[in-house]
Amino acid sequence: MKVSNDHPHHPRRRNEQTLKKYRAPVATEHAEQVAVCNYLDLQYPDVLFWATPNGASLSGRGRAMNKLKGEGFLPGVSDLIIFEPRGGYSCMFLEMKRVDGGSGASENQLWFICEVEKRGAFGIVCNGADEAKQAIDDYLNGRTVKDV
């Protein structure tokens, strides 16, 4: 009798918990964003872009947050801004998430993207560096065109 790997008594059969132990960890949103910034620096050295440190950890949150709000802090601002007009858009706002989507875009982040789009910019949420690089390539090479 031949026993398959699916058989409950097969010596190489692993349950879901055992498999989870051996899965590669998902890169953090920070690592994904660093990879995208490195890509931009290498592939598009003349493109003006910057990161918004909205996700930065704030020590002494209450006072620090009040100070930032006084300086114009706006929750939900996208992680990366690419200040280059293309395809009828004024610029690109890119919200980064981990490759698995993490907890997804927040309500503030989705609101912000809707607002920038109302004002003529292109906004997008990308899961992982590869998806972000593709969106950036499409935008900067004119493959993302505003419907008129």
| CATH architecture assigned to 27-140 | 3-Layer(aba) Sandwich (3.40)
Torsion on CA atoms 41, 44, 48, 53, rounded to nearest 10: -40
Task: Determine the average pLDDT of the residues in 1-23.
Answer: 55
54-111 pLDDT, tens digit per residue, is 765 555 567 777 777 787 888 899 999 999 999 999 999 999 999 998 889 999 999 9
For strands 80-82 and 49-51, give the pairing.
antiparallel
Residue 57 is predicted with a pLDDT of: 54
The whole-chain average pLDDT of the chain stands at: 84
pLDDT at 136 over 80: yes
% of the chain with per-residue pLDDT over 70: 78
pLDDT at 45 over 90: yes
13-33 pLDDT, tens digit per residue, is 555 555 455 555 678 989 999
81-95 pLDDT, tens digit per residue, is 999 999 999 999 999
b/e map 118-131, b = 16+ CB within 10 Å: eeebbbbbbbbbeb
Q: Which of 40, 39, 37, 138 is nearest to 89 (CA)?
A: 138
